[in-house]
Amino acid sequence: MRGPHNIWRLIRTGATMERTGAMGVVLEAMEAPRALRIVARTLVWPVQWLGDKGDPNLPPATRALTALGPAYIKFGQILSTRPDVVGPELAQQLRVLQDKLPPFDVDTAKKVIAEELGAPVDQLYSEFSEPVAAASIAQVHRARVDATGQEVAVKVLRPGIERAFRKDIDAFYFAAGFIEAFSPASRRLRPRDVVEHFEGVVMGELDLRLESAAASEFAANTKNDTGFFVPTTHWDLSGRRVMTMDWAEGAPLGDNDAIDAAGHDRRVLGERVLQLFLSHALRDGYFHADMHQGNLKVGANGDVQAFDFGIMGRIDEYTRRVYAEILFGFIRRDYRRVAEVHFEAGYVPADRDIDEFARALRAVGEPIFGMDASRISMGKLLSYLFEVTEQFGMETRTELILLQRTMVVVEGVARSLDEHINIWEVAHPVVEAYVRENVGPRAFARDLAKTARVLARFGPKLPQMAEQVLVRQSADPVEPPRASRLSAVIWFALGAGLTALASVLAQTL
């Protein structure tokens, strides 16, 4: 599939951007260099007639992305939360991509539900509405469960969406290969790995059974979070192409007028969204990875309500600790420690100069402090970070791609609520609490206890394992038998000691 035929897809992408007028709008909004604008427009102008016209009732950028397909729409959804990158006007236009796309007809939705759940819609729901929201992958209907009368939201996949996504992702793979072949400097960013990661995330979103499971796990993790709410999933009314959850009434988090009319404090909401995301990522290692305004509401009681759990992120405990230390180091302006963490984690090659790296990090972090957050250009900041990472040989880490992307999205949501929000000040208490609890002597003691518990399960086998080591090493002519016996005894004593220590630590921690 990933052959030269994808050249046609890429040509049509550029042609559609030019024909709809999006090319100039996007390049101008992102402050692209004048030379780049001239080259791009010159290349695509002669073939613009090959592009799709799109819906003339939509603004240029939205018109182009909707015409290009679901993968491009997803990209536009991310940009809609970053007015500091694409400008407030373009960001406002792109918000249409979140939940206001043209729906498919209700009869088609009912057919999908009947095929998936094995019964007509009239037997499953006492009420079933026209679509109330439509996004790139699915649309939502408001309904009422026949048995209990509970009001619910029914999510239904778009027909043929799997095939459409595979076609777009196929073109992305071809583009990534093309970039790696003709731009050696880009190889450290591993474009193919980035596309592969994106493919895994998106294809998981196309099975609503996985989303139901994700919603259930996320609700269990966050049930005690003040000011946060996850609707309950109805498993008996959910399947691969259909998902049913409790309906939650509230004002869309992207509608500031509605939020103000309901009497909510947008500054508090902005801080809450950012702090909740950090808590979920650091505390649980499991976070909502698609937290744009279309997937968030605020209830009458002020709770932030989350929806659409098709894209979730997971990071292991070690990575969470590294990430927290890096954030905390920036917050405390301890750039030497941030540099040390990068080297300890292997993010930067060991042969690089740590002091020079710390100085480069200071140049990145210092502009953040002592100024109004609204004056910070994240575009320029990210541009400088790219130069720094290239200079010190850092590679893109695919396990952090989703975390980094979501952090960008969440920051954009928070700033849409309060343009003066300072992400470092808001993040400080959450990150500090995590570091205090999970980095240091107390965390080391807990890690040791976990290790001892694992060894304790092998307690009955320790004598046999020690004997096997003795026999194996005694047969090795390189190592004298006495040394073999000594090493085995030490190994056995260590295991026994840790086993005994496990019970003590388990009682004290």
Total domains present in the chain: 4
pLDDT at residue 484 is higher than 60: no
**Are both 433 and 304 inside the same structural domain?**
yes
pLDDT interval class at 506 (50, 70, 90): very low
Domain final residue, candidates 416, 439, 462: 439
- Whether residues 317 and 399 fall in one domain: yes
pLDDT of residue 434: 85
User: 188: pLDDT confidence band, cut at 50, 70 and 90?
Assistant: low
343 located within any domain: yes
Task: Identify whether residues 172 and 314 lie together within a single domain.
Answer: no
Residue with the larger pLDDT of the pair 326 and 335: 335
Q: Tell me the pLDDT of the chain averaged across its residues.
A: 78
List the catalytic residue out of 84, 170, 225, 290: 290
Give one DSSP letter per residue of 151-171, joined into a string. EEEEEEEPTTHHHHHHHHHHH
Q: Are 157 and 138 in contact (CB under 8 A)?
A: yes
In the predicted model, what is the mean pLDDT of residues 353-368? Answer: 85
* DSSP per-residue codes, 467-498: HHHHHHHHT-TTS-HHHHHHHHHHHHHHHHHH
Distance CA 383, CA 102 (A): 36
Give DSSP secondary structure letters for 198-230. HHHHHHHHT-HHHHHHHHHHHHHHHTT-TTEE-
3-class secondary structure, 436: helix
Least confident interval from 223-227, 390-394, 497-501: 497-501
215 and 280 together in one domain: no
The answer to the question of residue 312 being in a domain is: yes
The domain boundary, picked from 439, 473, 491, lies at 439
- Residue 72 in this model has a pLDDT that exceeds 70: yes
| Res. 24: pLDDT tops 50 | yes
CA 361 – CA 353 distance, rounded (Å) = 13
In this prediction, residue 380 carries a pLDDT of: 52
28 or 435, greater pLDDT? 435
Work out the number of other CB atoms within 10 angstroms of the CB of residue 19: 24
Does 290 qualify as catalytic in the annotation? yes
* Residue range of the domain that includes 171: 102-135+137-247
Residue written as token pair 């979730």:
312
Band of pLDDT at residue 82, cut at 50, 70 and 90: low
CB neighbours of 258 closer than 8 A, spacing ≥ 6?
251, 252
* pLDDT at residue 98 in the model: 59
Confidence at residue 71, expressed as pLDDT on a 0 to 100 scale: 75
Give the residue from 247, 276, 291 where a domain finishes: 247
- Residue 488 and residue 402 share a domain: no
11 and 113 housed in the same domain: no
Mean pLDDT confidence for 340-357 = 86
The whole-number pLDDT of residue 62 equals 82
Question: Does residue 288 belong to any structural domain of this protein?
Answer: yes
Whether the pLDDT of residue 379 is over 50: the answer is no
Tens-place pLDDT, residues 385-419: 556 766 777 665 655 666 777 787 888 888 889 98
Do 14 and 91 fall within a single domain?
yes
Question: Residue 1 falls within a domain, yes or no?
Answer: no
Q: Is 257 found in the same domain as 176?
A: no
CA distances to 329, 424, 429, 504 from 325, in Å: 6, 13, 13, 29
* Position 306 in a domain: yes
Cα 239–chain centre separation: 24
**Across 299-412, where does the E strand assignment appear?**
304-306, 312-314
Residues with Cβ within 8 Å of residue 245, at least 6 apart in sequence: 152, 153, 155, 215, 231, 232, 233, 234, 307
Q: Are residues 106 and 94 in the same domain?
A: no
**pTM > 0.85: yes or no:** no
Whether residue 235 is found in the same domain as residue 369: no
HSE at residue 154, side-chain half, CA atoms within 13 A, is 31
d(CA 11, CA 68): 12
Residue 92, domain member (yes or no): yes
Pair (227, 303) in one structural domain: no
Q: Which residue has the tokens 């004997």?
A: 467
Of the spans 84-93, 163-172, 456-465, which averages the highest pLDDT? 163-172
| Contact assessment for residue 291 and residue 306, using Cβ atoms and an 8 Å cutoff | yes
Indicate whether 278 pLDDT > 80.
yes
Structure tokens at 314: 């997971």
At 350, is the pLDDT very low, low, confident or very high (cuts 50, 70, 90)?
confident
Determine, yes or no, domain membership for 204.
yes
Q: Is residue 128 part of a domain?
A: yes
Residue 288 and residue 209 share a domain: no
